[in-house]
Amino acid sequence: MSDFRLPDELVPVDGRFGCGPSKIRAEQVAHLVKHSHLLGTSHRQKPVRDLVGRVRSGLAELYRLPAGYEVVLGNGGSTAFWDAAAFSLIERRSAHLSFGEFGHKFVTAAGAPWLQSPAVVVGEPGTVSAFTGGEEADVFAFPHNETSTGAMAAVRRQGPRDSLTVVDATSAAGGVNIDVSETDVYYFAPQKNFASDGGLWFALMSPAAIERIERIAASDRYIPEFLSLSVAVDNSRLDQTLNTPAIATLLLMEAQIRWMLDSGGLAWADARTRESSGMVYSWAEKHPNATPFVTNPDHRSQVVATIDFDDSVNAATVSAMLRANGIVDIDPYRKLGRNQLRIATFTAVEPTDVSRLLGAIDAAIAAL
Ligand SMILES: *Cc1c(COP(=O)(O)O)cnc(C)c1O
């Protein structure tokens, strides 16, 4: 077992199947090297601002942004965005779907002392919960893709007309096609389908969201500058961030957005992640020892496939055997505590590599 060696034909060309940080393509790194003269230069000067501008307009094109929507960005990743939302987006009270770790983390951030305690519809891990209609809130929030469980929700407007629909798209954006007009804020960090390093957040914001942000900024609520979405909107309009961004991340992201656009845009990315995840789910359904963790096929994520194993297969051992052969980060979300493998089928991952991975898992199980 410890000297388990995969036959060459089962070794993926790229063994990175982690859910974030995730596979960064060699072409992105080449783009980074080609533009390395931007590294170590001022983010207040035109060359870096032009780069930020290209990332913003690239996202607008990828998402066919409706009139009046804006691409806003800032430092701190999606985790910082939750706190920014508590300061700048939620007026009195938020309502949440919480069916995994990430949805739950936004609930915690929205428990800020200046807000009424959030209305939460909790769902079991592996399911997708739904608003009941009884929630009184001005923000309705849910994760598009719950990365900790591999359950994916439909992106639809929620709540009454004057409320905002705020969607955590961190692991879905760039891999799942949606209609942005069904949301007011569709936010994400770039270390998943956008195959970049972490540290930034991006948000596609509707005119109603920006109006809300400006109204709260004009109120007497205390808002730290770093977590002010009004400050982020103002800076983004100038193709800047409040404080220094990671320029390398922006270059990696630019290359990934260009690749997606040149390949056929979001519809293409959507078809590709469906193809990859579809292979994983049909393999698991036929496997004598495996089953997809998410039982409702409509809620199975096309970008994060979670597969449970019966007691005869120790998934952690399989993962360790594959890691020794260059296949990395297919362990389940640490707090879920299941006998499971979790496979990212992000846009950057080659479907042919997913096919090899499944063969590699079979080979590891046979060698147990
Ligand atoms: C990865 C992830 C996050 C956390 O992103 P950070 O940039 O590390 O804060 C939040 N939500 C979802 C759905 C994620 O997949």
Instruction: Provide CATH code, domain 26-262.
Output: 3.40.640.10
Q: Round to whole Å and give the CA distance between 237 and 239.
A: 5
Cα(105) to ligand 1 centroid in Å equals 10
* Strand, helix or coil for residue 305: strand
Cα of 209 from ligand 1 centre, angstroms: 21
Please give all residues whose beta carbon lies within 6 A of any atom in ligand 1, as ranges: 20, 77-79, 102, 143, 147, 168, 170-171, 189, 198
Q: Within 10 Å of residue 227's Cβ, how many Cβ atoms? A: 20
Q: Which atom of ligand 1 lies closest to the CA of 79?
A: 9
Return the best residue to mutate from 107, 146, 171, 200 for the ligand 1 pocket (most ligand atoms within 8 A of CB): 171
| Nearest residue to 331 via CA among 5, 104, 20 | 20
Q: pTM score, two decimals?
A: 0.98
- pLDDT tens track, the chain, 368 positions: 568 999 999 999 999 999 999 999 999 999 999 999 999 999 999 999 999 999 999 999 999 999 999 999 999 999 999 999 999 999 999 999 999 999 999 999 999 999 999 999 999 999 999 999 989 999 999 999 999 999 999 999 999 999 999 999 999 999 999 999 999 999 999 999 999 999 999 999 999 999 999 999 999 999 999 999 999 999 999 999 999 999 999 999 999 999 999 999 999 999 999 999 999 999 999 999 999 999 999 999 999 999 999 999 999 999 999 999 999 999 999 999 999 999 999 999 999 999 999 999 999 999 99
Residue 197 Cα, ligand 1 centroid: separation in angstroms? Answer: 12
CA of 260 to the centre of ligand 1 (A): 21
Protein residue with its CA nearest to atom 14 in ligand 1: 170
Q: How far is the CA of 52 from the centre of ligand 1 (A)?
A: 21
* C-alpha of residue 56 to centroid of ligand 1, in Å: 20
CB 189 within 8 A of CB 198: yes
Q: Which fold has domain 8-24+266-367?
A: Aspartate Aminotransferase, domain 1 (3.90.1150)
How many angstroms separate the alpha carbon of residue 337 from the centre of ligand 1?
A: 19
Q: Which of 98, 144, 147 to mutate to test the pocket of ligand 1 (most atoms within 8 A of CB)?
A: 147
Predicted pLDDT at 134: 86
Q: Is 232 exposed, middle or buried (0-12, 13-18, 19+ CB in 10 A)?
A: buried
pLDDT of res. 2: 66
Atom of ligand 1 nearest to the CA of 147: 15
What pLDDT does 102 receive?
Answer: 98
Give one DSSP letter per residue of 1-44, joined into a string: -TT----GGGS-SS-B--SSS----HHHHHHHHHTGGGTTS-TT
The pLDDT of residue 54: 98
Smallest CA-to-CA distance from 190 within 284, 78, 357 is with: 78
Place of tokens 């007009």: 181
What is the Cα Rg of the chain in Å?
Answer: 21
| Extents of the domains making up the chain | 8-24+266-367, 26-262
Residue 341 and residue 361 in contact, taking contact as beta carbons nearer than 8 Å: yes
Report the residue among 79, 105, 202, 345 best suited for mutation to probe ligand 1: largest number of ligand atoms under 8 A from its CB.
79
Cα(170) to centroid(ligand 1), Å:
5
| pLDDT attached to residue 1 | 57
Tell me phi and psi for residue 217, to 5 degrees: -65, -30
